[in-house]
Amino acid sequence: MAFFEVQGIVKFFGGLAAVNGVSFEVKEGEICGLIGPNGSGKTTIFNLINGYFPLTKGEIQFQDEKISELKTHQICQRGVGRTFQVVKPLKRMTVLDNVIASAFLRHHPRSDAIKLAEETIEFCGLTHYKDKIAKSLPIASRKRLEITRALATQPKLILLDETAAGLNPHELEEAITLIKKIRDSGITIIIVEHIMKVIMTISDHIVAINHGMVIAKGTPAGVVSNPEVIKAYFGEDYRA
Amino acid sequence: MKRPSGPFLLLGLLLILPLMLRDAYYQHLMILVLMWVAIGSGWNLISGYTGQVLFGAAAFFGFGAYTAALLSSKLGVSAWWGLPLGGILSVAIAFPFGWICFRLRGPYFALATLALNEIFRHVATIWESLTDGMIGILVMQTFISKLPYYYVALAIAILSIVTVDVVMRSRWGYYFVSIREDQDAAESMGIDTLYYKMLSLCISAFLIGIAGALYTNYMGFIDPKVVFSLHEISIMAILVGIVGGVGTIYGPLVGAFIMVAVQEIFRTGGFGILHFIGQSTGWPFMSGVIKYVSEAHVLSFGILVIVVILFLPNGIVGDWSLIRKFLIKSKKPAV
Ligand SMILES: Nc1ncnc2c1ncn2[C@@H]1O[C@H](COP(=O)(O)OP(=O)(O)O)[C@@H](O)[C@H]1O
Ligand SMILES: [Mg+2]
């Protein structure tokens, strides 16, 4: 059985099928890129994996357990961390306190939680902002805080939703470095990203979706040259 | 408050205060202040720190008060047992209540606490065989002097502040504030938000329930109108919480002090100043003014809430640096 597997998941919002029969699997230790045009259902897939929305149909397996019946916090406890595309910092808490709250999941005496939080902040390069109130951070650092907080729950699988959107080229390089560092630390990653440069350089394997359905799967080079994918991204008239 | 000696100085002052303040009237006010510290701390934990607005604090206050009173009137047990029991039974109410209400987000919890408040008030009024309804319950007071009550109230106030302080430094505290700031984020950080909201409510209910039992013992008389009062207890609890500072350890202490003073100013018509003016000037309309002022405190409470929210959204303790800046600035031109 796969490390992580999504089987025919469906999500309806009223009459709209935001996700319509998506299946894919992810092997332990790899980076899986999830791509697709705006509104194709990527964030919804994350919200389904994470238990934020109940599934209309289908099943999600993680490490031989059906996690699609668990609550969000239980899924996190099983080892699935996530970031939000629209960042959700704990605004009136400091960066350190944000991360400590996360670190408490697996580290009980407060001193242990603080230690892990500080290490994670260091790992993600946020040390400079440690004592700042979260709402005062610039957007690039808020995105980084999302990652830091997810990492402090010590996940085995992390879902990154457009954590590189809106970053300048320098910040983008840093983001790529960080994502690779996360992979090298042994954490499996599913990443949603619009910037092709990011997706192409770091993904081991890519799942492309459109209108809530999988249109291509495979290696980065294979998926990007797939005519369906080109059509979805650039429209019918595009000729390469 | 940063210096660790601050709390001890304060404690020392509160310990010797009633020995210096020998007037029974002021001792009475101080006992009320201390009781409100407990209620305010309880309110602050669930509403200020956890972000779940408790509109019906009187539900737990009155429940604690009736627990103490019924122990004495029905079971012949000392009403002092109401202190621990009132707290524990309030938790027994808060637990299932939270379990039901915290599934929904938004204003449901706030409204449901209001409903609980009103339900309890009606039950206490109607169930005459148990509570004697509107007649109320009389409990023999244990002490004639106010001093013992003062020290019991002080112990409860300290228990409340220390409880909230200890909780807020622990994992629970981090979880409560996380829930206040963003429930979705909290859930995805592995926090069981339903459980921790219930936990926070239970601790709050415990503190408020004890305060209710203290009230019964101290006043020696309760009826549904007083202990389940929406404006005398529930709204007052909110005011104590926000005037001092939402989500601050010492906010409820400052809030209790100010609000008991404000309430008393209205009740007595400015400590008798209006009476004095009325008598010395002989203006016939003054008696009307006095009557209105003492009854206008509900309205003034509402105005106070608005003023605090507009100008000091973090309360007096929370916005202390703002207040200091303002005071220093307004002093300068005078120099
Ligand atoms: N909570 C929701 N309620 C109703 N419709 C939603 C909700 N979330 C997403 N959708 C719809 O589902 C579709 C997919 O959205 P989303 O998953 O956010 O796309 P992506 O992340 O790929 O840009 C969109 O049409 C969006 O409008
Ligand atoms: Mg999205």
CB contact under 8 A, A110 and B181: no
> Which pLDDT score, from 0 to 100, does residue B334 have?
45
> Which pLDDT score, from 0 to 100, does residue A42 have?
96
Q: How far apart are the CA of B42 and the centre of ligand 2, in A?
A: 40
Contact between residue B316 and residue B258 where contact means Cβ atoms under 8 Å apart: yes
Residue B280 is assigned to a structural domain of this protein: yes
> Which pLDDT score, from 0 to 100, does residue A164 have?
87
The finding on whether A36 has its CB within 6 A of some atom of ligand 1 is yes
One-letter amino acid at B161 equals I
The CA distance from B286 to the nearest CA of chain A, in Å, is 49
CATH no. for residue B87? 1.10.3470
> Which pLDDT score, from 0 to 100, does residue B119 have?
95
Those residues of chain B whose CB sits closer than 8 Å to some CB in chain A are 169-171, 174-175, 177-178, 181-182, 184-193
> Which pLDDT score, from 0 to 100, does residue A130 have?
93
CATH no. for residue A206? 3.40.50.300
Asked whether residue A107 carries a pLDDT value surpassing 90, the answer given is yes
Residue B10 is assigned to a structural domain of this protein: no
Q: What's the first-to-final CA gap in chain A, in angstroms?
A: 39
Cβ neighbours for B100, distance < 8 A, ≥ 6 positions apart: B112
Residue B19 is assigned to a structural domain of this protein: no
Each residue of B212-238: pLDDT tens digit?
999 999 999 999 999 999 888 999 999
The CA distances from residue A90 to A37, A93, A136, B178, in Å, are 29, 6, 11, 6
| 3-state SS class at B54 | coil
> Which pLDDT score, from 0 to 100, does residue A240 have?
45
Q: Which domain holds residue B43?
A: 24-334
Model confidence at B16, pLDDT cuts 50, 70, 90, reads confident
Q: How far apart are CA A145 and CA A127, in angstroms?
A: 11
| 3-state SS class at A99 | helix
One-letter amino acid at A4 equals F
Residue B329 is assigned to a structural domain of this protein: yes
Q: What is the mean pLDDT of residues A219-233?
A: 88
Q: How far apart are the CA of B186 and the centre of ligand 1, in A?
A: 22
Structurally, how many domains does chain B consist of? 1
Each residue of A121-174: pLDDT tens digit?
999 999 999 999 999 999 889 999 999 999 999 999 999 999 988 888 888 899
Q: What is the mean pLDDT of residues B121-147?
A: 89
Residue B32 is assigned to a structural domain of this protein: yes
Q: Which domain holds residue A148?
A: 4-238
Mark residue B76 as left, alpha or beta (left: phi above 0; alpha: psi -120 to 50; beta: remaining): left
Q: How far apart are the CA of B26 and the centre of ligand 2, in A?
A: 62
pLDDT > 70 in chain A, percent:
98
> Which pLDDT score, from 0 to 100, does residue B83 have?
95
Contact between residue B146 and residue B23 where contact means Cβ atoms under 8 Å apart: no
Q: Which residues pair with A129 in a beta bridge?
A: none
Q: What's this model's pTM, rounded to 2 decimal places?
A: 0.91
The finding on whether A54 has its CB within 6 A of some atom of ligand 1 is no
Contact between residue B64 and residue B237 where contact means Cβ atoms under 8 Å apart: no
Q: What is the mean pLDDT of residues B275-284?
A: 70
Structurally, how many domains does chain A consist of? 1
Q: Whose CA is nearest to atom 6 of ligand 1?
A: A13
Q: Whose CA is nearest to atom 5 of ligand 1?
A: A13
Residue B204 is assigned to a structural domain of this protein: yes
Mean of per-residue pLDDT scores for chain B:
88
Cβ neighbours for B126, distance < 8 A, ≥ 6 positions apart: B133
Each residue of B185-201: pLDDT tens digit?
999 999 999 999 999 99
Q: What is the ipTM of this complex?
A: 0.93
